[in-house]
A and B are shown apart, each in its own frame.
Chain A
Amino acid sequence: MRRLLDVGISRLSNLLHDMSRLSQECVAMAIDAYLKDRSVVQEVYARANQLAILKEEVNDLAVELMIRYQPVATDLRFISSCMEVAYDLVRFGRYAYDIAQIREQLGDLGRCDKSIIAEMSEIVSEMLKDSISAFNNKDEDLAERLIRMDDMVDSSYRSNLKKIVETGMDIRCALSSVLVMRYLERIADHAVYIGELVRYMVSGERAR
């Protein structure tokens, strides 16, 4: 028989699905716009704002489920993880908004070489997609893979930073590249946090 708690958990899952979709859209829009030198600040802002509202809904519902049903074991781990994942998804939106704002702050970036960002954003987008998929499918293997991919992002961030300094790039291009790289690196970190929550949900092990 379906428990009353299951109805709430399914509502929570639906909210997380909506947030996942929005956060992926945000990041994809911001990166695409940066690479094509287009402005999407308003569109990204609207979605990032919606993510923040949904996160509050997730937290409200999670607290209500805890009050009403005192969940334990798998239910407890899922509900507490949802609250944390909701925060990570909001951060995706926030970093997407930060990326979208760079063009507004620094002006035309059409002449800049964006190959570094194109390469790095490909890995980070994949990480974002994988983290959401690992969470939805409680896939521990995929979650483990995120840690390895994060190492690639970190190493790419460090080597590209060095490259930018050494090549003496135009200041506006250099600044925008460094900022986007930094935001992408943070997005990757949050994807890893989601992976760690997947491990906690599945096996009860907390990342140290």
Chain B
Amino acid sequence: MDMRLWSLLSKDYSYVEKVDMQGSKEVTVVTADDGDDGMNGKIVLEGRGVGVLYDSKYAIKDVNIKIVRNTITAIIGPSGCGKSTLLRCFNRMNDLLDARIEGEILFNDHNIYSNGINVAEIRRLIGMVFQKPNPFPTSIYNNVAFGLKINGFKGDIDKQVEYALREAVLWDEVKDRLNDNAYSLSGGQQQRLCIARALAVEPEVLLMDEPTASLDPIASAKIEQLVTRLKEKITVVIVTHNIQQAARISDYVNVMMVDENMIGRLVESGPTREVFENPKSKVTEDYISGRFG
């Protein structure tokens, strides 16, 4: 195990209370229970026996996966293997797609699919960035402030917008044009704006679904740099088609493949260096070496 990785895991977490703004109902959300030295406090998300069915057909099945806090975990695999489906389970985005979910997704040891869970709050704590930048058709400022306002943010919104834009390494490029329409930004800037929007509400986890797929190499490199920096504060799970991107930025890699019944399976998980230097599975070897298909 990479010791540098573990040195980042000493962050002190505690129970905090969050308020459900939509229903005005107070709910308690556990952000961490890092009370022991074992692996438990280091796992922020865990999938146990996860299966997703669309129209009674499995898209993915029996997926067991652990996401270590303050790391970047990549999920790679060929098209149609269920990477995005698995990612969407982590903040219940599959709820919007009429999917049936099996197994458990534990966020700080609590099953996010159990009854009574505040889904909006889950999605605040576990944010998401998509392949295509999707800013709202409004100003740069409002894009970032939007999530704060609907979450009833009580602090200084201007400061929080600046914080989020700085975290997304966009502040210097937009600080003099915050009222410009977000569509006036380049593709790469729009994607960083979406990241800023997600970061504004201070999530614990950021899910990224091929965030650089539509960007040029320079814009992609900027996103990669900022993601690598983000792990000091949050945990990142990234789905990528770009195997080299996974090798460059991730601490852990999970490889998915479809089986003979076209059901997505997790075939290998491990520290990035191990998976790329000496993969255990032949299918992983073939996939990452470009021998697949």
> Which residues in A have some Cβ–Cβ distance to B below 8 Å?
3, 5, 69-77, 203-204
The main secondary structure of chain A at its interface with chain B is: helix
Given A73-B278, A204-B278, A3:B285 Cβ within 8 A:
no
How near does chain B come to A201, taking the closest CB pair, in angstroms? 10
Instruction: Report if B247 contacts A (CB, 8 A).
Output: yes
**Closest residue of A by beta carbon distance from B290:** A3
For residue B283, give the distance in angstroms from its CB to the closest CB of chain A.
Answer: 12
Task: Please measure, in the bound complex, the distance between the C-alpha atom of A108 and the C-alpha atom of B290, giving whole angstroms.
Answer: 60
Using A5-B289, A73-B277, A73-B285 as known contacts, list a sample of 9 further A-B pairs with CB atoms less than 8 Å apart, ordered by residue number in A.
A70-B244, A70-B247, A72-B243, A72-B277, A72-B289, A73-B279, A74-B289, A76-B276, A204-B277
Contact with A along B22-34 (1 / 0, CB 8 A): 0000000000000
Docked complex Cα distance between A76 and B291 (Å): 14
Residues of chain B at interface, number, CB under 8 A: 13
Contacts of A3 in B (CB 8 A): 289-291
Q: Which B residues are within 8 Å of any A CB, using their own CB?
A: 243-244, 247, 276-279, 284-285, 288-291
Docked Cα-Cα span, A3 to B289, in Å, equals 9
- Which A residues touch B243, using CB under 8 A? 72
A69–B243 CA distance with the chains assembled, in angstroms? 11
Q: Known: A77-B277, A204-B277. Contact between A72 and B291, CB under 8 A?
A: no
* A75 and B289 form a contact (CB under 8 A): yes
User: Once the chains bind, are B278 and A77 in contact (CB under 8 Å)?
Assistant: yes
What would 25 A/B residue contacts be, using CB atoms closer than 8 Å? A3-B289, A3-B290, A5-B290, A69-B290, A70-B247, A71-B289, A72-B243, A72-B247, A72-B276, A72-B277, A72-B288, A72-B289, A73-B278, A73-B279, A73-B288, A73-B289, A74-B285, A74-B289, A75-B289, A76-B276, A76-B277, A77-B277, A203-B278, A204-B277, A204-B278
Docked-complex contact A73 and B276, CB < 8 angstroms: yes
A75 to B288, CA, bound (A): 10
The 9 closest A-B pairs by CB, nearest first: A204-B278, A72-B276, A73-B285, A72-B288, A70-B244, A73-B279, A73-B289, A3-B290, A75-B289
Among B243, B285, B291, max chain A CB count under 10 A is at B291
Residues of B within 8 A of A5 (CB): 289-290
CB distance from B287 to the nearest CB of A (A): 10
- CA distance in complex: A159, B180 (Å): 85
Chain B nearest CB, measured from A71 CB (Å)? 7
Q: How far is the CA of A69 from the CA of B291 in the complex (A)?
A: 13
| Bound form: Cα–Cα A146–B112 in Å | 57
**Minimum distance in angstroms from A75 CB to a CB of chain B:** 6
Q: How far is the CA of A70 from the CA of B278 in the complex (A)?
A: 15
Look across to chain B and name the residue whose beta carbon is closest to the beta carbon of A80: B277
Q: How far is the CB of B147 from chain A (nearest CB, A)?
A: 37
**Chain A hits for B276, CB < 8 A:** 72-73, 76
Question: In whole angstroms, how far apart are the Cα atoms of A14 and B87 in the complex?
Answer: 45
Q: Which residue of B lies closest to A2 (CB)?
A: B291
